Amino acid sequence: MSMTESARFAPVRQTFDATFAAGEELGARFTLVRDGEVVLDIWAGHADRERTRPFDADTLTPVFSTTKAIASVLIARLVDQGKLDYGQTVASVWPEFAQAGKGEITVAQVMSHQDGLAGLPEPMDPGLWMDWDVIVDKLAAMAPLWPPGTASGYHPITFGFTAGEIFRRVDGRTMGRALREDLAEPFGLDLWIGLPDSEFGRVAELERPHRFADFGKITEPKKLAFLTKWASPGGRGAQAWRRAEIPSANGHVTALGMARLMSALACGGELDGRAVLKPETVEAASRERIRGHDLVLPFEISWGAGFMRNVPNMIYGPGQGSFGHSGWGGSCAFADPERRLSGAYVMNKQSPDLIGDPRAVRLIEAAYGCL
């Protein structure tokens, strides 16, 4: 079933159907936007593991780290408004952050995973991730795991708290509230960080991966980021997780909402004829801040200010200037300013691939083949 589908993109539909036929999907959706217009929006499958509920246009999917693309747009909007600069220190808006030698860390370094706070070193109840003030106080007091600015090391969960607290100190609102008030409601984007109980019935159930991700040789940053008992939120149940605002990890979205948000980045900052960002802010958000072998993910990565740049891994099609973000289990969203194209893939059957899930890569490559 689809809302928007033209004969031009028939090969994408064939690729999508083949993935289901091979048993690689439970439910999924893929959306493309070009020049601000939705040119493809397809979905299929089931929203629950028992296969009783169809995966449809209203299904919300947890997208884990693809949420970081939303957080990065919200930070970029503060830069756009002149309320924040990527080059200023975090401590200039959040004085407590200067503890343990972090006084010179910049907003850009936090946004590009260079601040050395990839995971929390002290054992704790994983349910404490639901308590915003506890976590930001821990991060403010923490010493970096490596010299800030010397390397990137992906921050799977902590990124949302550092970026989110910077945002809160400057704007006064949480990221979840600002998303709702400034973007989701005005533009009709079905995007949530902090899900109201009224929306719970739309959420897709996840089928977890059947094997572990391959992190390569385990180091202390990798262990603290992903592999301790307290590395990620837990212990409070699915409802508490959905309600919490964790802008690095617990976004609930539709592919259409994500693809349209990314369309603003692909089209010079404009969405539905309205300026979301200035073109120079999009450039500042997406340009390379650091490139090298990441200390947490087993890849060479080029980071923008919160965005994963397409070069060198080329997981978002052939565009040299494309950028986006991927999430645990396979979801992703991307923008290609050169072609004024954006897209998003969401699904509820998770794979163990850390980035570049083959299902998404095949769909994106098929889409580019149709242009």
- Helix (H) or strand (E) segment spanning residue 163: helix 158-171
Nearest residue to 38 via CA among 138, 187, 153, 169: 187
What's the CA gap between 143 and 349, in Å, rounded?
Answer: 37
User: In a 10 Å sphere around its CB, with 0-12 CB exposed, 13-18 middle and 19+ buried, how is residue 201 labelled?
Assistant: exposed
What's the CA gap between 187 and 368, in Å, rounded?
Answer: 26
Nearest residue to 325 via CA among 371, 358, 356: 356
- Rounded to a whole number of angstroms, the CA Rg of the chain reads 19
Which residue in the list 2, 65, 112, 248 is annotated as catalytic?
Answer: 65
Strand (E) positions, 60-128? 61-62
Is 65 among the residues known to form the active site?
Answer: yes
DSSP string for residues in 5-41 = --GGGHHHHHHHHHHHHTT--SEEEEEEEETTEEEEE
Helix orientation angle between 67-80 and 255-266, rounded to the nearest 10 degrees: 40
Backbone angles phi, psi at 12, to 5 degrees: -70, -45
What's the CA gap between 138 and 52, in Å, rounded?
Answer: 43
Residue type, 175: M
Residue type, 313: N
What's the CA gap between 142 and 18, in Å, rounded?
Answer: 48
Q: Which residues participate in catalysis according to the annotation?
A: 65
